Amino acid sequence: MSVVRIVERDRRDVLGEGPLWSARDNALYWTDILSHRLNRLSLDSGVVRSWEFDEYLGWAVEREKGGFVLGLGRRFVRFDPETGVTRAIAAPEPDRFGNRINDAKADPQGRIWAGTMSINCEDPTGSFYRLDTDGTATRVDGPYTIANGPAIAADGSFLLHTDTSLATIFRFDINDDGSLGPRTPFVTFEPEWGNPDGMTFDAEGGLWVACWGGGCVTRFSPEGVRERSIALPASQITSCTFAGPALDRMFVTSASDGVDEPQGGALFEVDPGCRGLTTQYYRG
């Protein structure tokens, strides 16, 4: 049984999401979407620092040139944590006022793949976008009700993305021009598993999935076979990532929104028994 550690801090997240390991800072970053907050846990000191924004904050991806790209509201923006300054890159859905950006990852080519979704989690108005290094945002798939993931293969040849409302993880080949191949089901969740939320690959090609409503993170084999789960003391598990210099530590985010649970919204650390992949930068 894996030991579960609860990271000590003075608050719980309403909707914790988007954990990101920064080797550059020796820190874990993650967001609280509904509280408009970016958090940073220093692995050197254990201190948690936060930045607050005026809009929903879906995720943060490191820029190779320094700072971050954020999924803020319905926009992609650059963010300098030293000055607090944000600068717009692209706004792919300027007229979809009922949507927000939800989840994203960078790929080995330095691009960002990000999904959007309806704020009410009910309308199929979301899409999947690719943000190229020149700042161009291109719609590559849709519609989505609750776009989540993605997880990108180590060689950048394919990615996995999910619509949590459909309880299905989909697989897409990534073509040389950045377009996607056909959407094909990779894993369909059984009702007792919860629903697939954020996810990440390990170095062996296994897929780790945060199980919303299932109270665990689950590993699937490269072929999509459910292998094992790590139980957590909260039901709404949202995402996970590998961290630490050896990429052998796993941090897991959760949500307290809509539940009365002592550890809902906590940040957890577990021992996954394997290593993860290097965090990719946005190269724009």
Active-site residues, by number, are 197
d(C-alpha 205, C-alpha 224), whole Å: 10
d(C-alpha 255, C-alpha 22), whole Å: 22
- Asked if 273 contacts 122 with a C-beta cutoff of 8 angstroms, the reply is no
Residue written as tokens 């060689």? 155
Q: Is 123 annotated as a binding residue?
A: no
- Asked if 237 contacts 252 with a C-beta cutoff of 8 angstroms, the reply is yes
The neighbour count for residue 136, using CB atoms within 10 Å, is 14
Q: Is 155 annotated as a binding residue?
A: no
Q: Is 197 annotated as a binding residue?
A: yes
d(C-alpha 164, C-alpha 172), whole Å: 16
**Which residue pairs, CB below 8 angstroms and at least 24 apart, start in 62-67?**
62/20, 62/22, 62/24, 62/106, 62/279, 62/281, 62/282, 63/281, 63/282, 63/283, 63/284, 64/110, 64/281, 64/282, 64/283
Q: Is 82 annotated as a binding residue?
A: no
Q: Is 39 annotated as a binding residue?
A: no
User: Binding site residues for a divalent metal cation, as ranges?
Assistant: 17, 148, 197
Binding site members: 17, 100, 102, 148, 197
- Binding site feature residues for substrate: 100, 102
